[in-house]
Amino acid sequence: MAREIPIKFVVNGREYEMAVSPNVTLVDFIRNELGLTGSKKGCGQGECGSCTVLMDGEAVNACLILAPQIHGKSVTTIEGLANRDEEHPLQTSFVEHSASQCGFCTPGMILSAKALLNTTTEPNELEVRRAISGNLCRCSGYKKITEAILAAAAQEQR
Ligand code: FES
Ligand code: FES
């Protein structure tokens, strides 16, 4: 068995210091070791976006990153997006616009949207569609998802 690597990192505002296997992916690590199962593992090959998390504010596919690569970084999963008991406006907007059906893609969609809103306060529809272009949805359709993200962005501006 490969020797574990000691790393320090932050997930959802909490600091961790632990040893990780060098060949475990970030999505498996956060789901199986940290118990944060909101991040979904679909394809495991960087194709579907269901595993999307934020790493230092940028959206990344957690299935394409090895756990040791988060050393010194700050990761946000869907569990860390809400402010204590208060939903994030993106979460509220997804509910209000019926932008989630089975919900498998939803955590990744919302985190890709959050990465966009981190850099673009008033995105247009094209920018939203580009931001979620790596996130596949098989049921709700992209129209409602796009509307939900645009509405959340507008809400944040108020
Ligand atoms: Fe990571 Fe599909 S599980 S992109
Ligand atoms: Fe089911 Fe998107 S809501 S895959």
- The pLDDT tens digits for 91-124 are 999 999 999 999 999 999 999 999 999 999 899 9
Q: What is the pLDDT of residue 1?
A: 67
Q: What is the distance between the terminal CA atoms of the chain, rounded to a whole angstrom?
A: 54
Taking the C-alpha atoms of residue 33 and residue 91, their distance in angstroms, rounded to an integer, is 25
| Ligand with the closest atom to the CA of 145 | 2
Q: The tokens of 65 are what? A: 């990153």
Residue nearest to atom 1 of ligand 2 (CA): 102
State in Å: Cα 109 to ligand 2 middle. 9
Residues lining ligand 2, CB < 6 A?
Answer: 100-106, 137-140
Quick one: pLDDT band at residue 40, thresholds 50, 70, 90? very high
Q: What is the pLDDT of residue 83?
A: 81
Three-state DSSP class for 60? strand
State in Å: Cα 63 to ligand 2 middle. 19
State in Å: Cα 136 to ligand 1 middle. 10
This model's pTM is above 0.85: yes
CA–chain centroid gap for 13, Å, is: 15
State in Å: Cα 140 to ligand 2 middle. 6
What does pLDDT average to over the chain?
A: 95
